[in-house]
Amino acid sequence: MSKIRITKQFTFETGHALYGYDGKCKNVHGHSYKLSVTVIGSPITDSGNVKFGMVIDFGDLKKIVKEEIVDIFDHATVFNKNTPHVELAHELEQRGHHVILVGYQPTSENMVIDFAKKIKDRLPQNIALHSLRLQETDTSFAEWYQSDNL
């Protein structure tokens, strides 16, 4: 049976700051992220299955990614919980802002690694995460490939 890759794209707005960075990104700022999620699997061959011919229903993939990534990170500010930014995070939370504290420097590279784990944990057993592409700006993105992470 042929293996097919399908991709669904998502967008969300997220702020962050890179503690200890030597450039402008040390300041709190935001991005309009674009996330492309590609999974691989064989189309369902059972003609009695309502998902006949699909690798995975795009709606099912959307549900997973929205619940694990988009609904959580959209319009949030992300800080590394192991830095003094945690003080700013607590101040923002007290003022009603949506803040996410992570155990890593919130770069596109680290975020895409985190997203890959979250998505892989939710996929059906017969579907594999092939790749993620997290675009931070029109000209900058980080990519994660399963084949690079075996």
Of 25, 31, 98, 143, the active-site residue reads 25
Return the bridge partners of 78, or none: 16, 100
How far CA 36 is from CA of 17, 51, 99, in Å, comes to: 23, 22, 23
- Annotated active-site residue 136? The verdict is yes
Query: Alpha carbon 90 to chain centroid distance?
Result: 24
Of 13, 29, 75, 87, the active-site residue reads 75
Element (H, E) at 7: strand 4-16
- Annotated active-site residue 75? The verdict is yes
Of 68, 85, 130, 136, the active-site residue reads 136
Burial string for 25-57 (b: 16+ CB within 10 Å, else e) reads eeeeeebebbbebbbbbeebeeeeeeeeeebbe
Q: Which residues are the active-site residues?
A: 25, 75, 136
